[in-house]
Each structure stands twice: as structure tokens, then as C-alpha cells.
Structure 1
């Protein structure tokens, strides 16, 4: 069998029963689901798919697809030869195709093949109509998800002790489920250290761009690592994992909305001599869902929207409120 470049996919036919509830049918870009139970049927279709094409051929090909919900039964598909981002994709080639719905079928179309999605799997056919493989829906988890705080760590928030640890933040508020809400600033301040943060993006299929599950993780209150539903997007400096106005992530590791995600961040404050001259820029290393997306990156100065711009002082952890219900849990810092 010839090597099938599924990056040139796709007619992707999705067969499903429409059981929209009133919330999931909302036309408002501000509508957000914070739980799977309230997300509606489109949520069940969106997500990640992975598998191997041509397993019996001389050139088997690992392949990943991200299916993005756009609201009202509309979807976008992005295909990745070699595997999903962070799982084999070489970042050189991908395809994006918008779905067109006919009855209960949504088709993602390209010139060289099709994929039929049903019951959590996509059956792939090449341009000649030959079946070349099936990829199944997967639910990836960060290898550091649920990582326990070491003995020498300062626990800023623990959802198992929500009522107690929410007091570590100014303006701290929690949900009925014991999760930390956005728009909080830690009372403790830091200079150099390691931060572990777990966050969950709401499902906002009608929203676009910066209005889609937006928050921000401000290290030292002045350097923003963006939090945004960038699932399936390009991975820019204003998207998830980007350091705002500084640099894009090396790879877009954003998981689908409502999946718990992690940031593991090593940070070093800018250094100054006795005369007040800057001798070393602030530096940051970021792992998003276990994959390094910034490696000892230098930051010239504070990014917009933080709590302070003075690089000579210690600063807090600030989790931005952008009017979207982003949730947090398991937050701790090791000072260095």
C-alpha cells in the first residue's frame, strides 16, 4: 500500500443523534459549560483522535486528528502526520478543513481522501476509496497531573482543602466543587522558584479568539503565560502557552476544553547590582502538559496586564480574570 499522507485528508463524516439541550444551543459567544454534563452533544464529538494507518504496509503512518467544536453542530478538523502535537508530529505539515453538514453527516473535505467518524473512531480512506486504517478517540493526560507538592513546597491552593487554602489569595473564591476561580492574587510573593499549576478551560464553542476561555498565569505578577482555549490553533504568543508579547510556544500543547491541564514553570527574577543596574534578564522555562514549550527563555520586561512592573521586587502569582470561568486546582511553589 502506498504511504497515505492523511495531512491531505479529509472528508470526515460524523454520524450522530441530535439531542441538544437549551444551554448547548445557545448562540451567545459568552455561553460556557464548566462540566461535561452541561456541555451538550457537540462536546462528545470534539476532541483528539490517534492511531496508525497502513499497519500491514511497508510504510505505516501514525496519525492524529483534532476535531474542534465551533457551535451549532459546526466543526473544524486538523490533521497531524506522525501523531498529535507532543506525540510524534514533526511540526512541518498539517491540514485544516472546515466541516459541512448534510442531515446528520458532517464532512471535512480535501482532495486526497476522507475519514468517516462514528462511535468514537475515524475510518480513513485514500483518494481511491481504499480503507487505510482507523484512528480512535483518545483522552490524553499530563504526566504531572495530580502531582503532589513536595515537603519543601508552599501550597497555594489544594482543592481537597479548598476552604483553608483559598485564604492564600486576595479575592479568593471557590466553586461548589471546591475549585479556585479566576481573578486571584497570591498573598505570598516570590523571586526564583518552580510553580506547578493545574487549570481547566470551559467549553465555549461559540466564542472565538481571545474570547474563548481566556485567563492568564502571571508569574511574579508581571510575566504572563497565556491561558486560552487554543485547541487545534497555530500556537501564537497570545494563545495557550504563549508568553504574551514575548514568544510563542515551541508547540501548541493545548488539550481540548474541560480536560485538566498543567503548567510546570521554572522562573528566575531579573537580577540587579548594588547600583540598580540590571545584570540579568528574567528567565522562564515552561512545560505545558509535560512538554517543554519555552526553554530558559529570557524576558526583556513585564508583559501587559500584570499586578506590578517593578522587576527589582518579589512578586505574587496572579491568575487573570477575563470574564471566562477558568478553574484551577493543585497549585504550589518551591522557592529557590
Structure 2
């Protein structure tokens, strides 16, 4: 008899629990929304995107021109902040002058879109990392590799368009050394808070029209030896590397991303 009472109590409890679950399910069921039949209800007119135009070199009107072939006024020597010492050529290109050192922009930048065109040295010399080596650094810390990777084997995370020692490109889109290469790079800077990294930065790289880095995470500084470092910093310059190879550059422009 005691056993029967106990069973009845358990059944009552179970019914109550099931009722509570059903109540929760009813409360969580979303209220049906009104069916949209007019296409205008999903149209957004404001804010209207700003219209931009293009010049004869296809440079957008809201870009900052870093090199157009006439001078190096936007650049300084990295080692001592004096006038950049690379060579300006009659065809409105510039060439790394080996031994003069890296050059960097006078301005500091945060997140940006960068366009640049480069060409490997006219005469093929060396192999691996010794052939057509340079690099473009963002905020003086994060390198996208520039290298003559046309039929030139090296370590995969150090070839052209590699995020140096961090990310291997999805493809090798390098053209022969008698042709110009195009880089279009989207860089989102890392964010720091209270002395620590809050959000990692990222790179997207398009090489000669081919997507080769697809929003990859920047793990930290691109070190030649050792792991990446994450020392807090703010905006920084764009730097081009003198790696003792006469790499050519032209048509460099940048757009700041808000």
C-alpha cells in the first residue's frame, strides 16, 4: 500500500515536469512574422555609398598614391629616416638599390587596402630565397613575401605571397621575370587592450587576379627565427625590403579602411 502511494506521487511529479517542458517549448516558439509581399519593404536607400572615379592608371580617387614614378617623397630610409635611396628609372619605375636598406612610408596606417606592382630582376641570379627577394611589411611587423617564385622552389611558407613563416599561399600565381606581378592586399590590423592582444589581424591577398590568401589570421610578427610576437602597438608604416636583389616596383597606392 505504501508502495502504491509512492508510485502515484512519482507519476504526478512526472506529469508536472512534462507540463513544465511543454510550457517552455511554447514560450520559446517565435511569434510568426508578417509575410513580406512588397519588395520595397526590404530596400535600404541610406546611407548611399560614396562614388569614386579612376585616373588613367586606374587608381581610385579616394586612394593615397605612394609611388607614381616621379619621386620618393612619400618614403624615407628605415634605418635613419633620411631620404629613401632607391633608384627612380626613366620608365617611371623604381628599383631596390642593394645596400641602401629598407624604405618605409612617412605616414602611419591602420587597416588598409594596398595595391602594388613589382617585377623580379631582369637577370636571373641565385635560387630559392636568393632570387628576386624583397617583401612588403605592414606596420613594420607583418610581411607578405615578394620573391621570384616562377620555377624557383623554396620553403612553401616563404615563397611569393606567403605570410612569411605563417601561411602558405593557396596557389603559386607567379609570372616569369620578364612580366610584372600585381599584389592587391587587404590588411586588418590586430587590436590590443590592457597590454594584450584582443583580436588578431588578418590578410587577404590577390596575386595577378588569383586569390592566394583568404582572410588568414595574423599570428603575430613575421619572424625570420622563432615564433611570432604580439607586442602591443598602434598604426605603423608600410615598408619595402632591401634583400640585396634589384627588384622593381611601380604603381603603389593605398586606401585606408575605417
Shared fold by TM > 0.5? yes
Counterpart residue number, 1:297: 216
1:186 equivalenced with 2:105 (yes/no): yes
Q: TM-score, normalised by structure 2?
A: 0.66
| Contact 1:237-1:248 within 8 A present in 2 as well | yes
CA 1:147–1:264: 2 relative to 1, 3 Å? farther
Could you tell me how far 1:234 is from its partner in structure 2?
5.5
Match of 1:245 in 2: 165
Give 1:189 deviation, angstroms: 1.0
CA distance in 2, matches of 1:287, 1:251: 10
Query: Using CA pairs below 8 Å that are at least 6 residues apart, which structure has the higher relative contact order?
Result: 2
Change (3 A) 1:154 1:309: farther
Cα distance in 1, alignment partners of residues 148 and 182 from structure 2: 14
Given candidates 123, 136, 143, the residue that maps to 1:217 is 136
- Cα distance, 1:158 vs structure 2: 0.4
Structure 1 SS opposite 2:176 = coil
CA–CA distance in structure 1, aligned partners of residues 67 and 125 of structure 2: 31
Does residue 260 in structure 1 map to residue 180 in structure 2? yes
Q: CA deviation at 1:233?
A: 4.2
Q: CA RMSD in A?
A: 2.0
The size of the alignment, in residue pairs, is: 184
State the SS of the aligned residue for 2:73. Answer: helix
Q: Which has the higher strand share?
A: 1
Give ranges in structure 2 of 5+ residues lacking alignment. 1-55, 78-83, 97-101
Q: How does 1:87-236 map to 2 (within 5 A)?
A: 148-159=58-69, 162-163=70-71, 166-171=72-77, 172=84, 173-177=86-90, 178-182=92-96, 183-233=102-152, 236=156
Alpha-carbon distance in structure 1 between the residues aligned to 2:141 and 2:171? 23
Larger Cα-atom Rg: 2
Change (3 A) 1:170 1:284: same
1:299-334 per-position Cα deviation (integer Å, ceiling 9, x unaligned): 1101136xx975421111111001110011111110
Unaligned 5+ runs, structure 1: 1-145
Question: Normalized against structure 1, the TM-score is what?
Answer: 0.52
Counterpart of 1:167 in 2: which secondary structure? coil
